[in-house]
Structure 1
């Protein structure tokens, strides 16, 4: 008797789930087949393909792709203007946030 393929099942690492819990985060993994499974990853991959691969490809070597990816991730995380952040870069927005919200210091014992 042949076994069914593994694809219908979903695997989530116990270590991954525990590390999320330690940080006070909830996993964004839904049940098999729902719309939340890989939506964020697929959106980011789609952006990268549109903004880098389609505009600057084809790449000649794997190193060229890796370098383009690192440049794009640096830009995406640090320099892009974002409408949800009042057209500030993520770095500017985070700096402004922490300037207004001083971190609490732990109580001395």
Structure 2
């Protein structure tokens, strides 16, 4: 069984100086989703002033869209996400436990 992996590309929509005040809330957002096991990797792009990226798994595309809409950067209007969903049919054996046959963790979608 393949597992969906989501590449979340975060792009600033304003100059980096306007992003700065929202970084602490964004870091708390990242930490929460890392603790839940949804975010596997997150970090700034190189160069950092472009934004960043996140690798997420274990949830549906719909849930990822909901999660990204909750990002303080998005709520403040300083960044936007591009979501690329990958059907991870082939993967390195070291990722088997993370991406193996885990069932998707679903939470109710807010309406």
Report the TM-score range of the alignment, normalised by the length of the smaller protein: under 0.3
TM-score (norm 1): 0.24
Q: Comparing both chains, which one has the higher relative contact order based on Cα–Cα distances under 8 Å and sequence gaps of 6 or more?
A: 2
TM normalised by structure 2 equals: 0.23
Relative to its length, the structure with more strand (as a share) is: 2
Structure number with bigger Rg: 1
